[in-house]
Structure 1
Amino acid sequence: MGSLDGLTPWETHQIVVGSCPYAWAWNVLGWPAVSVPAGRTRAGLPVGAQLMGVANSEPLLLALAAELEDAERWHELRPTPAVSAA
């Protein structure tokens, strides 16, 4: 059984909103979104950004993601291997 089985719609909604407070509306409405790289932290960890659009804006979001990928040249970036202190 899943963790949401047996819950009321309201209880399920509260869990969904708590789990993804910024994107839940897009999930409910079925609107498109795309996640793209957005830089790195000082520790070198990758950070992402989610671009969200209105209904039927998939072509625009994909075109924007492709332009960002081309401009930022993400395919040339490689993570720095972690060094074990053992």
Structure 2
Amino acid sequence: MERTKESIESAIKQILDQKSYKVPDIKDELRIIEDLGFSSLDIAQLIAHLEMELGIDPFSEGALISSINTVGSLCNVYQSCVHGKK
């Protein structure tokens, strides 16, 4: 579970760094679009990165992309998928 959260935080930081944005402390309540400035392309890149790193795609298993608004909600979607695999 902790690996999932670390992977998500690391991927978010990489994308922000690529955009030359100041990387904040990643907190669960940060909104992905409003606070981090992610575009739909950034979100797609994030999901692709996480699928490669974690080997799971919760959105192909029924999770709704619209259900992720914050870093915490993104973590919850991935952690739920990880728990479903075990």
What range is the shorter-chain TM-score in?
under 0.3
User: Which structure features the higher share of helix residues?
Assistant: 2
Which structure has more RCO (C-alpha within 8 Å, separation ≥ 6)? 2
